[in-house]
Amino acid sequence: MTSQTIDRLGEARLNLGPAAEGSAHRYLRSLTGVTVEIAHLHGPSSDPEDLRSTLPRLTVILEQIGGHAEMGLTPHRLAPLPVAGYRAASHLTFVPADTPLWQLAQRFRYIRRLVIDFDLSVLAATFGDALTLASCVEPRLMFRDSGILALAELLADACLGSGTDCRLYGDSLALAMSYKLFGADRARRNRGGLAPSQLRRVIALLEQSLPNAVALKDLAELTGLSEAYFSRAFKASTGMPPQRWRVAAKVQRAQTLLVETGDSLAAIALACGFADQSHFSRAFQTIAGASPGAWRKRHCV
């Protein structure tokens, strides 16, 4: 079952209503240089979804509960994943125009997704020499960029608003995201991260150790780097320092327990490695933007 609203003039109307299993609610909006689709996907579903576009496309997995979404260039799941651990986190995928792109999701309960198609002719006229086409021809699968993810969350909210102010705000966010992706200084911004093999090893160790902490010294030794350099490189690769990544991973585990069990908040806090329910609530509010109780009420429909 799919419910879809297409907005070309800036007025937003979206009624999600009660969510049925296997349903999808999609909302489209046109802004300066981009077309945006917001999708609320309710599982379960095991069929690959074809996301190929005739325009360059950025796919943002904003939220996933009870499973995970992988992005690939074929409809067949590959192992290992490009970066272990990204299955449970928000991630981005960029592909050039006419590039095959598939979403593969397993056992998920809910996925909130933002898809943006870029009109390079409009963006080139807007940015001029500040736009670099070299960054538009290389696929980037399941990567993280804290700046783009933050803009994506704001853009998703703006696209559900109505009126001229929301349209202008959406335009400014869309242009900011376009510049973050295609701006001439992107190559400089992306220097200094961990090598993919290093990042895979580090994320695998962090995941295997949850909910327990891993000493920074041990993570640095795993990559052959000093602790200070490792911390900077990890943040450059993931958008957050190791400690915040671990807290975010514990919160994501808690989100799964909130929707899949009836356990108390205190029990979930303990199971996910938080010192107490108060510590859990503060961390959850910081990462998810809502208290655990409010988040559970909103997602357990």
CATH code, domain carrying 286? 1.10.10.60
The last residue of a domain, from among 171, 189, 207: 189
CA distance linking residue 58 with residue 52, whole number of Å? 11
Residue 105 backbone dihedrals phi, psi, to 5 degrees: -125, 140
Strands (E), the chain: 2-7, 24-31, 34-42, 49-50, 57-65, 68-72, 91-95, 102-106, 110-118, 140-143
Does one domain contain both 230 and 82? no
Does one domain contain both 161 and 285? no
Does one domain contain both 256 and 229? no
CATH number at residue 148: 2.60.120.10
In the sheet that holds 49-50, the strands lie side by side as: 49-50, 102-106, 68-72
> 83 near 200, Cβ under 8 Å?
yes
> 113 near 41, Cβ under 8 Å?
yes
Q: Give 123-168 as a 3 state SS string.
A: HHHHHHHHECHHHHCCCEEEECCHHHHHHHHHHHHHHCCCCHHHHH
Q: Which domain holds residue 217?
A: 192-239
The last residue of a domain, from among 148, 164, 189: 189
Does one domain contain both 219 and 278? no
The last residue of a domain, from among 224, 239, 254: 239
Does one domain contain both 41 and 179? yes
pLDDT digits (tens), the chain, 301 positions = 444 444 433 444 344 344 455 678 898 999 989 999 999 988 766 678 899 999 999 999 998 887 778 888 887 654 433 333 334 468 889 988 888 888 987 677 888 999 999 998 888 888 777 776 666 667 888 888 888 999 999 999 888 876 667 788 989 999 998 888 887 555 444 556 787 778 888 888 888 888 888 899 999 998 888 888 888 888 877 777 888 888 888 888 888 888 888 899 999 999 999 989 999 999 888 887 789 998 888 877 5
CA distance linking residue 272 with residue 250, whole number of Å? 6
The helices-and-strands tally (H runs, E runs) of the chain is: 11, 10
Does one domain contain both 265 and 234? no
Does one domain contain both 87 and 172? yes
Does one domain contain both 142 and 30? yes
CA dist 111 to 87, 170, 171, Å? 12, 22, 25
The alpha carbon of residue 301 and the mean position of all alpha carbons in its chain are separated, in whole angstroms, by: 22
Does one domain contain both 221 and 267? no
Degrees to nearest 5, angle at CA 176 with 172 and 182 = 140
Does one domain contain both 46 and 152? yes
CA dist 81 to 84, 86, 143, 205, Å? 6, 8, 12, 15
How far separated are the first and last CA of the chain, in Å rounded? 17
Per the structure, the count of domains in the chain is 3
Does one domain contain both 167 and 98? yes
Does one domain contain both 248 and 285? yes
